[in-house]
Structure 1
Amino acid sequence: MTAADQRVQDYPFNRPEGLDLAPAYGAARTAPGMIRVQLPFGEPAWLATRYDDARFVLGDRRFSRAASVDRDEPRVQFHRGSGGILAMDPPDHTRLRVLVASAFTVRRVERLRPRVREIADRLVADMRAAGSPTDLVEAFALPLPVQVICELLGVPAEDRHLFRAWSDGLLSTAALTAEEFARNDQELSAYMAGLVAQRREEPADDLMSALIAARADDVERLTERELVELCVGVLVAGHETTATQIPNFVHVLLTRPDRLAELRADPDLIPAAVEELMRFVPLGATSAFARYATEDVQVGAVLVRKGDPVLAAIGSANHDESRFPDAGRLRFDRESTAHLGFGHGAHHCLGAALARVELQEALRALLALPGLVEAGDPVWKTQMLVRGPRTLPVAWEER
């Protein structure tokens, strides 16, 4: 099958309100091969909706992220960011990743767990002191990862409030003008460049100082631009997705009381629950970061021609019944945890280990709230690249 055999469908499929996976994904997974889609901006693309196809495209070196820089990449935003490490291929990508990866190993992140637990417990204590009900997003889900990632990078506590607006601007699909987007991007980059300059003069025990000094064997140190882009990327990715998944996970559990009771009865299930929730919750409002074929490549039933872009639909792949039987049911006893929630291949999420610790400790702390329930309907984010509650009212029993 080739592009000439396919009609192009409007995309994205998901609605921003709620966490349901659009039925169009199920239909696409039963099609003979990948489907063709057109996003609001950019050129048409192939969409990989089955697990095997999506994993193949994410992992095969014949698909390039760097090629997107010179193409009209499929996207939901009018504007385009610089891309940074997300728009690189090996060996450039490898050089940067090697220098950063040492800060996010499972062993090193586990040493942060006591501090993450301390922050989570303090936030729950503050919630109890303020009284029920409260907004889980403002009281817990946002401040936990923001504080963790800012402490890790070395961002001063008094400046942390600035990052929500900057992050929202970078991840928004709203009709920001090119000037507004550029100003938002420049403000965040300028702030980060100032911190980098300060750390050069006064190194500290934080990730930014480590990145400034880092080198591996014959790998050169990061350039000033690479440092700033990496720190911006770590800051935004390090808090936004986790801050969104915490209320997503809580909403899913509170609307499935049997699963919540299962975790309360056996907290040792929390790590397995986080993996299953990562699979179950389709976080992305759309698919992003197209890979471009550098030669003709057969992907399932489709021959992808050299130069064609392919998007991987992570949420759909994670609901592929051929990989995850009974995929529409939340189960903490799955034998396979090889979900694509953190990506796959060269661009597998650098911060996956940290996100797992934060999500595990968040659930552990919140399960300590007796009788936790939703105290009203969530207000969902709209015009964002990720889906989740902007506010989630919750209540608990006062004891």
Structure 2
Amino acid sequence: MPEPTTERLPFEFMLSPEFGRDPYTEYGRLRERGPVHAIDFPRGVTAFVVIDHEHGRQALTDPRLAKGLGHAPGFFQDAVVRGNPALARNMLNSDPPDHTRLRRLVAGAFTARRTASLAPRIQEITDRLVDTMEAAGEADLLDDFAFPLPITVICELLGVPSADRADFREWSASLITPAFTEEAARQRDAVNAAVRAYFAGLIDERRRAPRDDMISALVTARDEEGLLSEQELLATLTLLLIAGHETTVNLIGNGMLALLTHPAQLGLLRERPELLPGAIEEFLRYEGPVERATFRFATEDMEIAGVPVPKGGVVHVSLGAAGRDPAAFDDPDTLDVTRTGNHHLAFGHGIHFCLGAPLARLEARIAFETLLSRLPGIRLACPAEDVAWRLNGSLIRGLQALPVRF
């Protein structure tokens, strides 16, 4: 292993258009200098990014790296609470026992049995969307398919009107995008106010007239059992709505782009549809929907791969870089739908492993099966180099659009 580097990466390196278009080349260069790199964060905060699979996996389960904002630097706490009050107190930003309590409240909706029972409805939604696209002969696969499929499913699961999904997409994009200017911060404040008002209205509605949905169940847990606070209720609903579709949108979009730019792999998958479950894991490894895990904070002075991380240090784990680590995967920059033993970290690892991973995998399986069987001539409607990635510094790895013809 190379000697730990003391050079700090500029804060802006993950925000550049070049990095957004191809983070893997930059990570490859950094990996030659070591698996952990310091980042020159604003206001003197000490931050690090972990870019290999071994230490990334360890960091995701290290109890010394907390998620709770109480362990974050002071200004960081203020920035997150102000920037994302709708998300500030949820299970993703908490540690046991709060994390255990909050996760248990929603885990029942994402069990294997419950998820499997959704398959007929997911297929029905998928078929309807493909019917519309097929008649047109062309589509933006993101707007016309990859977004409406999972947002409809999570809205029905939560009990949220899917007719409001245009608002959800705008809110989601804002809440997961860093706000580095005063104007962006003002826009974020407006979105947070809209999200709080929206969910507060739904909560009040369920208090008056409960239904058989997750919002009603969480309201009962709040009002009758005292299992979460009002702020936690709002934050949990916001997290479920955003996380419940963002991952799947980009799993479908990124995976289809990978197939459409690797025609031999696309042909192999058509010839051998039994490869699809493993192919989905390969899409997650090769071009996963989440580029970096959410922040963790060192609760004591520690080391990662020989690099000192002081108490209060901010740690990023790059899930995307871990998926391209040659020490963990043979020929990692090659898409291989026959790859086996795919131990990627795309859904995280440990107690914060994505609760909705079974649902995302099910939605992706039905989506790819249906697209490949019903649209055999599907192809890009523009040169591959013209397909644009979202270049906003977000943790999310996704496309702006995916124009196709069939």
TM over 0.5: yes
> Which of residues 146, 164, 173 is equivalent to 1:168?
173
Contact 2:15 2:392 in 1 (8 A): no
Q: How far has the Cα of 1:266 moved from its partner?
A: 1.7
2:55 counterpart letter in structure 1: D
Distance 1:296 1:249 in 2: 40
Match of 1:236 in 2: 242
Distance 1:40 1:295 in 2: 21
The correspondence of residues 6-45 of structure 1 with structure 2, limited to 5 A, is: 6-11=6-11, 12-13=13-14, 16=17, 20-39=22-41, 43-45=45-47
Match of 2:197 in 1: 190
Over 3 Å counting, the alpha-carbon distance change for 1:43 and 1:283 in structure 2 is: farther
> Which of residues 197, 207, 213 is equivalent to 2:220?
213
For residues 204-243 of structure 1, the C-alpha deviation after alignment (integer angstroms, 9 at most, x for no partner) is: 222212223349xxx8422222111111111111112322
Aligned pairs, number: 389
Match of 1:97 in 2: 103
For residues 329-370 of structure 1, the C-alpha deviation after alignment (integer angstroms, 9 at most, x for no partner) is: 112233322211011122211111111111111111111202
The correspondence of residues 218-367 of structure 1 with structure 2, limited to 5 A, is: 220-284=226-290, 287=292, 289-367=294-372
Match of 1:394 in 2: 404
For residues 63-96 of structure 1, the C-alpha deviation after alignment (integer angstroms, 9 at most, x for no partner) is: 111145543449x999632332222111111110
Match of 2:210 in 1: 203
- Aligned pair 1:383/2:388, yes or no? no
> SS of the residue aligned with 2:400?
strand
Flag the structure with higher helix content: 2
Name whichever of 195-204 and 22-31 sits farther off.
22-31
Match of 1:108 in 2: 114
Contact 2:21 2:391 in 1 (8 A): no
2:206 counterpart letter in structure 1: R
> SS of the residue aligned with 1:390?
coil
2:250 counterpart letter in structure 1: T
Gaps of 5+ in 1: none
Task: Give me the CA root mean square deviation.
Answer: 2.7
Contact 2:295 2:316 in 1 (8 A): yes
Distance 2:355 2:17 in 1: 26
Q: How far has the Cα of 1:384 moved from its partner?
A: 5.2
Over 3 Å counting, the alpha-carbon distance change for 1:288 and 1:68 in structure 2 is: farther
Q: How far has the Cα of 1:123 moved from its partner?
A: 0.4
For residues 97-119 of structure 1, the C-alpha deviation after alignment (integer angstroms, 9 at most, x for no partner) is: 11111211122111111111111
Over 3 Å counting, the alpha-carbon distance change for 1:128 and 1:99 in structure 2 is: same
Name whichever of 116-125 and 101-110 sits farther off.
101-110
Match of 1:81 in 2: 84
Contact 1:59 1:345 in 2 (8 A): yes
Q: How far has the Cα of 1:133 moved from its partner?
A: 1.8
Q: How far has the Cα of 1:288 moved from its partner?
A: 5.2
> SS of the residue aligned with 1:46?
strand
Distance 2:116 2:342 in 1: 20
Q: Percent identity?
A: 41
Name whichever of 263-272 and 332-341 sits farther off.
332-341
